[in-house]
Amino acid sequence: MIKKVKKTIIGWREWVSLPELGIENIKAKVDTGARTSALHAFDVKIKEANGNHTVDFKMHPLQDDSDYVVECHANIIDQRQVTDSGGHQERRLVIQTSLVIGQQTFPIEMTLTDRDTMKFRMLLGRTALKPYFIVDPAKSYKTRKNIKS
């Protein structure tokens, strides 16, 4: 017998957290047209030790604020050729980290790219959405902002 999971309805943009990267709150554009999720990154430095590849990068998690910087560290799990919505191809690093949205926490793969000129510093792609969510494009911020108690 297959157990059906009740999916949560989310809007076209949501507050999420990436606790393993030290990002408490970031607005994510929910993008069902994007296969993989993407995160803004700059000053990217790849490191290798004992055959493991890691990446240190900085990011601006708040829209319209390039003064606030979060320094992040993650394991590199892959490199992929990605075609953006404008048809431009770019080779991107892929990391895996935990995503918190509403009451749910789960692992997510994300590509790193410079999104400094974009309105949203993070895109939440359909691969991450499919098992857990249904998107209502008429709604925004259906889950609560993750605020420390």
Give the span between the Cα atoms of 136 and 90, in whole angstroms: 30
Structure tokens at 1: 């017998």
* pLDDT bracket for residue 5 (50, 70, 90): low
Q: Is the predicted pLDDT of residue 45 greater than 80, yes or no? A: yes
Within a domain: 43: yes
Domain count, the chain: 1
The domain of 83 spans: 13-134
Residue 40: CATH number of its domain? 2.40.70.10
Quick one: pLDDT at residue 65?
A: 85
- What the block records as the tokens of 132 is 């857990």
Could you give the C-alpha distances from 20 to 73, 78, 93, 134, in angstroms and in order? 9, 18, 17, 25
pLDDT category, 2, cuts 50, 70, 90?
Answer: low
Provide mean pLDDT across the span 89-113: 94
